[in-house]
Amino acid sequence: MVTKKKVGENSNQDREKVVLIMAHPDDAELSSGGSVAIWVNEGREVHYVICTNGDKGSKDPNTSPFRLAEIREEEQRNAARVLGVEQVTFLRHRDGELENDRAFRNELALLIREFQPKVIVTHDPWRPYMVHPDHRAVGFATIDAVVVARDHLFVPFWLELGFPPHAPLEIYFTFPSAPDYVIDITNTLEKKLEAIGKHRSQMERFPQWKDLIKAMAARMAEKEKFSYGEAFKRLVLI
């Protein structure tokens, strides 16, 4: 729930903020868990916005989507706790059904005004052959929401509710086809793995998942001077 803040109410208002806007529970840790651990260690305030409830994420024909959504939400809370994430906001849209419409964009824009991040991390919607529709929808909706959040003439009554415009300075797109910014997660890889391990409903299908994650992190750092990385497309906003 988004709530109006009174002046001086937020004791952390001077801390640099990072908001990850992700389609599903586990997307944040898989794409950015090592970087999140670094940002938290640096004193940044990190928030998650999880757009769907993940109720389609199972191959078990006997799984109830309602129970699965509950499980995945709890797993996400536990994973975020491992990394030191300040807050997880669940929008609870149905898995696989997101659309980049005005209602969804405004939902994200209001949260951007609420959290006032310097950096937003989200899916790369231009990634070639991106199969999952939620990843595309969240990526495009987040970009559009940045414009709504920064310009005061969008949804002007938000000003009366205490949500002034806010313009993030950067967007990091996860799993891009042409990364230009790689973060060294060599020292936080184990913390990333610990956080991913909390998503048991997803990882139990892949007995060798730790090896796969390590191999992916090594590939992302293969052109760097460190062992393991997380790669992003970095967009600096003007």
The 10s digit of each residue's pLDDT in 145-192 is: 999 999 999 999 999 999 999 999 999 999 999 999 999 999 999 999
Give 5-10 contacts, CB < 8 A, sequence gap 24+. Answer: 5/114, 5/162
Maximal C-alpha separation, the chain: 52
Q: Are the C-beta atoms of residues 163 and 125 closer than 8 Å to each other?
A: no
State the pLDDT at residue 7.
30
Q: Are the C-beta atoms of residues 119 and 42 closer than 8 Å to each other?
A: no
Residue ranges and CATH numbers for the domains of the chain are: 17-236 (3.40.50.10320)
CA–CA gap between residue 94 and residue 162 (Å, rounded): 29
Token pair of 47, please? 């928030």
Q: Is 8 helix (H, G, I), strand (E, B) or coil?
A: coil
CA–CA gap between residue 194 and residue 190 (Å, rounded): 6
pTM of the predicted model as reported, rounded to 2 decimal places = 0.92
